[in-house]
Amino acid sequence: MFAVHLLSFYFSKLQEDQIKKVDRYLYAMRLSDDQLADISARFRQEMEKGLSNESNATAAVKMLPTHVYSTPDGSEKGEFLALDLGGSKFKVLQVKVSEDRKGKVQMESETFPIPEEFLNGRGTELFEHVAESLKSFLRKHHINHTRKALGFTFSFPCAQSKIDEGVLLSWSKNFKARGVQGNNVVQLLRKAIQKVGDVDVDVLAMVNDTVGAMMTCGYDDQNCEVGVIIGTGTNACYIEEMRHIDLVEGDEGRMCINTEWGAFGDDGVLDDFITSFDREIDAASINPGKQLFEKMVSGMYMGELVRLILLKMAKKGLLFRGQVSDALRTKGTFQTKHICLIEQYKGGLENTKEILEDLGLNPSEDDCIAVQHVCTIVSFRSANLVAAALAAILTRIRENKKLKTLRTTVGVDGTVYRTHPQYPKRLHKVVRHLVPDCHVRFVLSESGSAKGAAMVTAVAQRLASQRKEIDDTLAAFALSPTQLQEVKAKMRVELERGLKKDSHPTASVKMLPTYVYRTPDGTERGKYLALDLGGTNFRVLVVKIRTGMRNSVRMYNKIYAIPLEIMQGTGEELFDHIVQCISDFLDYMGMKNTRLPLGFTFSFPCNQTGIDKGDLVCWTKGFKATECEGYDVVDMLREAIKRRNEFDLDIVAIVNDTVGTMMTCAYEDPKCQIGLIAGTGSNVCYMEEMKNIEFVEGDEGQMCVNTEWGGFGANDNIEDIRTRYDREVDGGSLNPGKQRFEKMTSGMYLGEIVRRILIDLTKHGLLFRGRITERLKTKGIFETKFLSQIESFSTILKDTVRELAPNCKVDFILSEDGSGKGAALITAVAQQHYTDKQEPH
C-alpha cells in the first residue's frame, strides 16, 4: 500500500513540475482577471468606434449593420431554402417551418465540397459551382416545381445596405477567389443562378453565419439577442438600438449588428497581449496584419499555435529530449481537432501519446503531461479572450436597456465550441465571473447557421407581410396632397360661413368675435391679475408689465387642482371652487384689499358680445359642469365672488387661450397675427378685417376672431378622412359627434387613437406576439406624451403649411405662457382701447 501511495505522490509531483515548466514558458498567454477586464474595456471602445460615423472608416471592429430587425417570434411559417458558404464545404438545405410551432422545424440538407481551384480561382466560377450544386439539390429532392425563398449564409465580412445585398469587404479562412471583393455577392449568386438556369428561387436575405446562429437559437428562445461563432473563424453579433447605429438612417427600433470582432487588434490595441507565437502565426498567414483576434482564438489557428510552441520548446530542450521530427516542423500537421482529443477528461494522456507518436516523436510521460498543459493554456486563452469580448457586448445590451440585471440568451455555434470537451464550461464560467450582473444562458445552435439563414428569410417574409398589413391599417391616416388641399378648401368654406350673418348659426367653425381690436404695441404697463382655466389644473397669477420695454414681464402664480367631481358637478360648485382658489392666492400674496384689473383665460368656446361678456357654447376637454352652457361665465364668476364676499375684482376681459398665445407672441414680434394651440385641445385665432365680420357692428379696423376650429366636421364634411378609430374615440367621448376635428388633432385624443390601433394590430397578431395586456385595455393608458417621446414630428406642421400655402412666408414662434401673460396683455390692451374711446378728440 505504501508503494502505491509513493507512486501516486511521484506522479502528482511529476505532473506539477511539468505544468510549472509550461506555465513559466507560456506566462504571456495566461491572462489575469484585471487583464481580461482591460481587454473587455478596450473592446467596448472599439465597438463604439465602429458604430460612429466619424470613426467607422478607421475602426478595426467594423460593427456592420445586417438589416435584420427582429428575431423569430413564432409566427413564421412556410418552406425555405438556405445556402451556407463559409468553409471548405458548403451546405444546401430545405427548411419547413410549421405554423403552430408545436412540431419541430423539418430540414433536408446536403453538403457539397469546394475544390481548391474554386477557392483561389475566379469568383464567377465559385458562384457557378454553388448554383450548379443548388440545382442538383432541388432536382434530387423534387422541389424545383415552385418558386422558393432562399436565405444565403455568407460567412465573410460584408457591408450591407439592405437585407438582400452584401458587398464583400475582405476574404478570410483561405478564400482568395478573384473579382469578388468590393462586389455585391448576392448579385453574383443571382447571376450564377440565372446562368445555370432551371433554378426558380428568390434570394431574399443574406446573413453572416453568426447572425444565423443567433436566429436559429432565437426560434426556440426568444430571449436570444447575441450570436457567437467559435469555429474555423470567430465572430459575434447582437441586437443594438437603432439610435446608436450612425451608419443607418432612423432612430427607432433595433437591428442586429455583425461585429466582425475577428479584426479586434488590427489597429494595435492588443499589441501588449500578442505573443511572439501569435506574430509568427500572423506572418505565415494569407492575410498578415489582419484578423489578429481571430488568429489568437479560432480553430483555424489554435492547432498551428500549439505546433509552433511544441517545436520551440523541443528546440530549447524542454520537450522530447530536444528531438524534433519532420512532421513537427511541417505547418498544419497539428490541428485543433488534436487539441480536443488531448484535453478529453478521460483518455486525454493516452490520446496525447498517440498523436505525438503519429508525428514521429517518442514522448515520455512528462512530455505528454507538458503537451496536454500547452493545449490547455492555448484553448483556455481562447475562451478567456472570447469571454472578455462577449462581456463587453452583454454590458452594452444591459446599459442600452437601462437594467441593473440583464437576463439574456447567447446562441453559440462553431466546431471549437461543439467539439472541445472543456471549452464551453470554461467560457461560461469566465463570462459569469466578468459580468455578474448579466445572467446568461448559452444555447448551442442546432443545425448551425444554415437553418438560421432560413429563419432570417422567414422573419424577413413575415415582417414584409406584417408591414403590409400594418401599412394597410394605417393607410387611412396618410393624407395625400390632394386630400389636404380638399381639407384646406373645406375649412376655408367653413371659415367664411362662420363670418356671415345668415350662415353663422349653422356653421361648424363658429368664428367667434373676441373684441380684441389690436395686438400689443409695447406701451402696455401696470399690474394685473390673471386666471387660467382650461384643463384639470387652474392657475391664478399676478402679472407686472413695465412700459417701454418688451421682454419686461414678471409673473407670480400658483396652481390648483380641479377635481373630477368639480369638473363634472354643478356650475355653482365649479365657480365657487375657482373663487376659493383665488382667495387662497390673494392671501398668499397679501393682496386681499387690492382691486386689480383681471383677465380671465377661459379655454372653451364662448360666444362673446363684449370683451368682458362670454356665453359658454359647449364644454370640451372632459368638463361637464351643469347649468353653464348658454350662460355668461363672467357673470357666473362675479356671482361666486359675491357669494364668498371676501374681496372684489375688476374683471376686464374674458380671454381664450389661443388669443392669449397670439398676444404673447405679438408682444415680442409685432408681425404676429395668428395664434395656434396644439395641446390638450386644438384651436386657432387670427386678426380679421372688421368689414368681413357681418354679425358685429362696424367696418373699420380689425378684430381677433377665435375660430373654434375644433368643431370643424360637425356637418359631416370631413367624413371621407375620418377613420374607424376616429369614430370609435368620438363614440367613447363625453361629447359624441362634437369637436370632430379636435378629436383628430389634439393631445387629449391622439394617445387614445394610438391605443386603439395597437389593440387592433395586436388582435391580428401583428404586434406584441398577439398578447394584449390588461393595462393596454385601459382607456387613456397610452398618453399623448408617449407619441412625442417615440416620434419626432416638429417639422411636419411647418413643412405642410409651406406646401399648402406657398405664397405665405410663415415664422413659427413658441409662445411663452400665452394663457397667463396673454390674459394680462389683453386686459392691458382692452383698458387702453376703452380709455382711448372715452377721451375727447
Q: What is the pLDDT of residue 522?
A: 81
Is it the case that residue 727 has pLDDT exceeding 90?
yes
Q: What is the pLDDT of residue 839?
A: 55
Given pLDDT bands bounded at 50, 70 and 90, which one contains residue 827? confident
Q: H helices within 141-234, ranges in order?
A: 185-196, 209-220
Catalytic residue ranges: 539, 603, 657
Q: What is the pLDDT of residue 220?
A: 82
426-467 pLDDT tens trace: 999 999 999 999 999 999 987 666 677 777 778 777 777 888
Q: What is the pLDDT of residue 284?
A: 93
Q: Are 509 and 491 in contact (CB under 8 A)?
A: yes
What is the distance between the alpha carbons of residues 148 and 150, in angstroms, rounded to a whole number? 6
Identify residue 170 by its one-letter amino acid code. Answer: S
Sheet holding 254-258, edge to edge: 64-65, 254-258, 234-241, 224-230, 406-413, 438-444
The pTM of the full predicted model, rounded to 2 decimals, is 0.63
Mean pLDDT for the chain?
A: 89
Given pLDDT bands bounded at 50, 70 and 90, which one contains residue 792? low
Q: Is the dihedral of CA 341, 343, 346, 350 positive or negative?
A: positive
Cβ–Cβ contacts within 10 Å for residue 776, how many?
A: 15
What is the distance between the alpha carbons of residues 76 and 455, in angstroms, rounded to a whole number? 8
Among 4-18, 103-117, 599-613, whose mean pLDDT is lowest?
Answer: 4-18
Q: Are 725 and 475 in contact (CB under 8 A)?
A: no
Is it the case that residue 3 has pLDDT exceeding 50?
no
Could you tell me the end-to-end alpha-carbon distance of the chain, in angstroms, rounded to an integer?
133
Cβ–Cβ contacts within 10 Å for residue 459, how many?
A: 24
Q: H helices within 523-632, ranges in order?
A: 564-567, 571-589
**C-alpha cell, 342:** 488531448
Mean pLDDT of 110-134: 89
Given pLDDT bands bounded at 50, 70 and 90, which one contains residue 9? very low
